[in-house]
Amino acid sequence: MDSGELIQLKEFLLLFNKLSDRCFRRCVYTLGSATLTGEERNCIDTCLSKNVNFNQKTLALFMEINPPFQQKKMEEQMAQVEELRRSQAAAVEASPQPVPIESQPVQA
């Protein structure tokens, strides 16, 4: 697994743990039994569904909105690179050019 995949896995597991904790705290009231009551099960199902749907909609919106922002950012960076190239070219043209030794007149 490369580092990018590990980061994604870590983010997924953190999200999963937060979601599990949130729904558990909201829905489970009795800790004396190993099984959930019907009310607890329904609450957890609703909580998970709402959160998963929210995350899916958020991701879809991000995927829709992000490309234009990325394109604009890339264009701005390309403009900065072009400006830097121009300023470097202007600096090179403005600097005095050395005269080769062979072309200098010989003084007597």
Convert the pLDDT of each residue in 32-79 to its tens digit.
888 999 999 999 999 999 999 998 999 898 888 888 878 888 888 999
- Domain assignment present for 55: yes
- Domain assignment present for 74: no
Residue 36 DSSP class: -
Q: How many domains does the chain have?
A: 1
Model confidence at 89, pLDDT cuts 50, 70, 90, reads confident
pTM: 0.53
- Domain assignment present for 47: yes
What is d(CA 106, CA 51) in angstroms, rounded to the nearest whole number? 86
What is d(CA 67, CA 61) in angstroms, rounded to the nearest whole number? 11
pLDDT at 98 over 80: no
Domain of 52? 3-65
pLDDT average, residue stretch 24-36: 90
Assess contact for 16 and 8: CB atoms under 8 A.
Answer: no
- Domain assignment present for 18: yes
Comparing 69 with 105, the larger pLDDT belongs to 69
